[in-house]
Amino acid sequence: MPKLQVSNYFKQMLSKDGEISGKEREYIKDKISSAAFLIKSIHQRQRTLYKVAESIVKLQREFFDRGIDHLRPLILRDVAEDVCMHEATISRVTANKYMHTPRGLFELKYFFNSGVSRLSGGAVASESVKERIRQIIKDEDPEKPYSDQAMVEKLREENIDIARRTVTKYRESQGILSSNLRKKPVWRPKKHKEHSDLHFV
């Protein structure tokens, strides 16, 4: 992380007696003190951000090693307890911050998501379910797209217990149209009837 410091130029000015007035000296001292406080606050925020990012990597290790299917449900409290800070602090620190990873660039808020129950117990991250819905739709037959209810049944085959309204919400959050609007008509040439009454000369 970059290290900030006050320019030595101003400290040198204070060390030269007689070159600046008492009023100027007090002004410079006041500004150096303010700068030192700001720098201390920035360094503290940097250390906090680093600790939070380190905790996210630890708690979401499976995601970084194996991909989005292994993203786990995570809430602010989990990280707050891990780094011994208040939830509000974690929320402020992660706002509008991003992490550059081998799997791409992610907003830190991306790693905090609710869980969807598995039929056999446990939970899967909502972002993983959203990605699975996207993949199902990507691989569907464009002539016979999956309805939201059909996706519910397909996800249950994969041990994910989800309601149809939740599938609808996740689909719409990704800007994906309903099955009726996704259906693509396929053009087929019309078969022409053979004429048996043709005469050849």
Residue that wins the pLDDT comparison between 121 and 55: 55
Residue that wins the pLDDT comparison between 188 and 125: 125
Token pair 């309204």 in the structure block, residue? 165
Can you give the pLDDT at residue 20?
A: 80
Q: What is the mean pLDDT of residues 177-184?
A: 91
Picking from 67, 52, 132, 42, the residue whose alpha carbon sits closest to that of residue 99 is: 52
Cβ(35)–Cβ(6) below 8 Å:
yes
- Report residue 149 as tokens: 């209810």
pLDDT at 76 over 80: yes
Q: What is the mean pLDDT of residues 177-196?
A: 74
pTM over 0.95: no
Domain boundaries along the sequence of the chain: 8-111, 115-181
Cβ(84)–Cβ(129) below 8 Å:
no
Fill in the DSSP letter of residue 74.
B
Can you give the pLDDT at residue 193?
A: 57
Cβ(52)–Cβ(83) below 8 Å:
yes
- Report residue 170 as tokens: 């996740």
- Report residue 189 as tokens: 């040439």
Helical H segments across the chain, by residue range: 8-15, 22-59, 61-66, 76-83, 87-94, 126-138, 148-157, 164-173, 179-182
For domain 115-181, the CATH superfamily is: Homeodomain-like (1.10.10.60)
Can you give the pLDDT at residue 126?
A: 94
pLDDT at 201 over 60: no
At 177, is the pLDDT very low, low, confident or very high (cuts 50, 70, 90)? very high
pLDDT digits (tens, 9 = 90+) for 53-73: 999 999 999 999 999 989 999
Cβ(117)–Cβ(123) below 8 Å:
yes
